Amino acid sequence: MRNFFKRQGKFQPRNGDDRNDQIIPEDLWVKCPKCSELIYSKELDRSARVCPKCGHHFRLRARHRIRLLVDPGSFEEWDTGLRPEDPLAFVDGQGPYPDKVERTQLKTGEVEALITGVCRVEGRPLVLVVADFDFLGASMGSVWGEKLARAVERAGEHGWPVMTVNASGGARMHEGLFSLMQMAKTVSAFHRLGERRLPHFSLLVDPCYGGVTASYATVADIVMAEPGALIGFAGQRVIEQITRQKLPDGFQTAEFLLEHGMIDFIIERQQLRQQVRTLIDLYMRDGENEPAPVVATAASIDVDA
Amino acid sequence: MTTDVDEMTSDAPPAPTAWDRVKLARATDRPTTQDYVAALFTDFVELHGDRLFGDDRALIGGVARFRGSTVMVIGHQGGTNTKENISRNFGMPRPEGYRKAQRLMRHAEKFGLPIVTLIDTSGADPGISSEERGQGTAIAESLMTMFGCRVPIVCTVIAEGGSGGALAIGIGDRLLMLENAIYAVASPEACATILWRDVEKAPEAAETMRVTAADCYRFGIVDDIVPEPQPAHEAPQEVIAATGDFIEQALRDIQSAFDPETEDGVAAMLDARYGKFRAIGAWRDASLDALDSATPES
């Protein structure tokens, strides 16, 4: 087996979590970090980037997630013009914040870490909000808060349900207190949506930490998580350094959160679309796609008689 | 009672650096929530426990009389010595602390009591058991509770406002900050470790994170600054009394702006609370830039 690797001079199986969507020749094969299976890249993409052998859920870019969930061609993206400012004139060891943003934009092909818009799932309208971990670790800054608030407000105006797909490495440190305040801004938007009795479905995906976990993502009406996703408030390294304790097995995994009563259920990626469709139908009872319930029909006959 | 920041700082050469403010905010003798409660409130009845798991001594609260009215006061509480610091977890609340705070806020709502919060924490507890009990969810629920709470809320950062652990009792109709208090998304040490990979860079981090009261006021996040002619730990009674005056004035301002005794008044107050946080952000709309540049110059 080792000789086989040697013969293939360029053959470099990489941890699939590190790669982008684009396929380059060296990336034809991906090694599953969980079961070590070598998977043909195209096959992995066909299986929604879930390991065909062990079911490990690889990370997904935001646009890939949107493609998997929505009716083809139905996603209408909102507020693509919003860009971060530099209110702190922030400079760190890697230079000024605006330069960092620009480099990240070139590298990722995204202008910010959050994508918002409206789509259809099997014909049903849904406001969709998806985080992209590749963009500065999906750190929540002012653009994130503004895009999310606008999306949720529009959902309220039109009477649409909202689904958020949440990954985050924490706060956008470069935006200082503005970043922290986005926790308040996003929660308040959902508070208003709740007053209109419109549901918020939240899917937590790997990894989801910090201010996103401590704000709108965990106070949704339905909180779901992908199998194996790491979810928490404080990061594992921070906890280890501060407590000097060994972390329990499976600490902060989706399964751990389920056991501790923190999420409603775990959903496999291939089942998500069907599950979301079911949820929309359960909550959007007056929706355009909902056949009239039997009880209501009987009641209206009674009234007529 | 608007304080002009420039006026306040222009006479005091040389102006303290951000790191000086961090050190003042963390001064060991700086007054704590208990000191404010003792000096400004009478008949304080501390209420314990979240009714779910335990009582968090890092976040305390209770009913009391403040300048003639019954209010609910809630604040972070660290210790003044090692033993007390351990029992109060160095002022870092666990989920049961936030859930106790939510219980007290609902209690205040039931009886129409204004809520006064005092913020002084380095952050929420980052421990294993806190994660097990849903630290993130507990903070999020606190934010949600405060946005819906139908009584006036005045929040004051009295020392260190650290991250989500501070924000969790920081949603209100007015946000006040003491002159030498700091409010930050992460501690300067954490920021230095993450972005410089060097904790020794904390003073630089404090500067570039813009954590001072003057910065927060300039950003429109803080409504008013309580001046400290002398740092609070050097003149505690004066600074505490001044803080009390600012809180009283803020409560009066809310009462007169919204008339929270009426349904319409409450609705207007909650709208304004929403609007206050809805407006916070620093972003631009590039699609509007494009429109501007596409417009032919005349």
Q: Which chain A residues touch B136 with a CB distance below 8 Å?
A: 213-214, 217-218, 231-233
Q: What is the DSSP string of B194-209?
A: IIIS-GGGHHHHHHHH
Mutate to test the interface with B, among A173, A175, A231, A236 (most CBs of B within 10 A): A173
Q: Please say whether the beta carbons of B118 and B64 come within 8 A.
A: no
- Residue B1 C-alpha, separation from nearest chain A C-alpha, in angstroms: 24
Q: Do B131 and A239 touch (CB under 8 A)?
A: yes
* A80 close to B (CB below 8 A): yes
- Residue B255 C-alpha, separation from nearest chain A C-alpha, in angstroms: 22
Q: Which residue of B has its CA nearest to A91?
A: B208
- Residue A140 C-alpha, separation from nearest chain B C-alpha, in angstroms: 11
Max CA separation in chain A (angstroms): 84
- Residue A34 C-alpha, separation from nearest chain B C-alpha, in angstroms: 24
pLDDT score at B298:
41
Q: Which residues of chain B have pLDDT under 70?
A: 1-13, 290-298
Of A92, A145, A177, the CB nearest to B221: A177
- Residue B47 C-alpha, separation from nearest chain A C-alpha, in angstroms: 25
Q: Which chain B residues touch A177 with a CB distance below 8 Å?
A: 183-185, 210-211, 215-216, 219, 221
Q: Do B285 and A83 touch (CB under 8 A)?
A: yes
Share of chain A residues as helix, strand and coil, in percent rounded to the nearest 5: 40, 20, 40
How many Cβ atoms sit within 10 Å of the Cβ of residue A70? 21
Strands (E), A104-199: 114-121, 124-131, 139-140, 162-168, 170-171
Of A82, A181, A218, the CB nearest to B285: A82
- Residue B298 C-alpha, separation from nearest chain A C-alpha, in angstroms: 26
- Residue A166 C-alpha, separation from nearest chain B C-alpha, in angstroms: 13
* 3-class SS letters over B112-181: CCCEEEEEEECCCCCCHHHHHCCHHHHHHHHHHHHHHCCCCEEEEEEEEEEHHHHHCCCCCCEEEEECCC
Q: Which residue of A has its CA nearest to B271?
A: A192
- Residue A88 C-alpha, separation from nearest chain B C-alpha, in angstroms: 7
Summarize pLDDT for B245-270 with one digit per residue, the tens. 999 999 999 999 999 999 999 999 99
Q: Do B126 and A190 touch (CB under 8 A)?
A: no
Non-local (6+) Cβ contacts of A155 within 8 A are A127, A161, A162, A193, A198
Q: Do A210 and B164 touch (CB under 8 A)?
A: yes
The size of the A-B interface in CB pairs under 8 A is 202
Q: Which chain B residues touch A94 with a CB distance below 8 Å?
A: 195
CATH topology of domain A62-283: 2-enoyl-CoA Hydratase; Chain A, domain 1 (3.90.226)
Of A84, A177, A218, the CB nearest to B140: A218
State the DSSP H helix or E strand holding residue B185, giving kind and residue range, or none if neither. Answer: none
pLDDT score at B11:
58
Helix, strand or coil for residue A30? strand
Q: Do A177 and B137 touch (CB under 8 A)?
A: no
User: B263-278 and A176-195 are packed helices; what angle lies between their axes, rounded to 10 degrees?
Assistant: 140
Q: Do A185 and B277 touch (CB under 8 A)?
A: yes
Among B85, B92, B84, B35, CA closest to B243:
B35
Q: Do B274 and A94 touch (CB under 8 A)?
A: no
Tokens (6 digits) for A37: 């299976």
| ipTM for this prediction | 0.93
Of B164, B201, B278, the CB nearest to A211: B164
pLDDT score at B288:
84
pLDDT score at B268:
98
pLDDT score at B6:
52
Helix, strand or coil for residue A79? coil
Q: How many CA atoms lie within 13 Å of B278's alpha carbon, on the beta-carbon side?
A: 17
pLDDT score at B296:
52
Q: Give the number of domains in chain B.
A: 1
Of A80, A89, A215, the CB nearest to B143: A215
Scanning A47-175, the segments in alpha helix (DSSP H) are 62-69, 97-108, 142-158
pLDDT score at A285:
79
Q: Which residue of A has its CA nearest to B171?
A: A184
Chain A 177-196, residues with CB within 8 Å of chain B CB atoms = 177-185, 187-192
Q: How far, in Å, are A15, A211, A246, A268 from residue A34 at the CA level?
A: 10, 28, 21, 16
Of B198, B210, B288, the CB nearest to A88: B210
pLDDT score at B8:
54
Q: Do A177 and B171 touch (CB under 8 A)?
A: no
Q: Do A233 and B136 touch (CB under 8 A)?
A: yes
Q: Do A239 and B127 touch (CB under 8 A)?
A: yes
Q: How far apart are alpha carbons B104 and B60 in whole angstroms?
A: 10
Q: Which chain B residues touch A101 with a CB distance below 8 Å?
A: none
CATH 3.90.226.10 boundaries in chain A: 62-283
CATH value at residue B152 = 3.90.226.10
Owning domain of residue B185: 5-294
Helix, strand or coil for residue A168? strand
* A260 close to B (CB below 8 A): yes
Per-residue confidence in pLDDT tens, chain A, 305 aa: 444 444 443 444 444 444 444 444 557 899 999 999 999 999 998 999 999 999 999 999 999 999 999 999 999 999 999 999 999 999 988 899 999 999 999 999 999 999 999 999 999 999 999 999 999 999 999 999 999 999 999 999 999 999 999 999 999 999 999 999 999 999 999 999 999 999 999 999 999 999 999 999 999 999 999 999 999 999 999 899 888 999 999 999 999 999 999 999 999 999 999 999 999 999 997 644 444 444 433 333 343 33
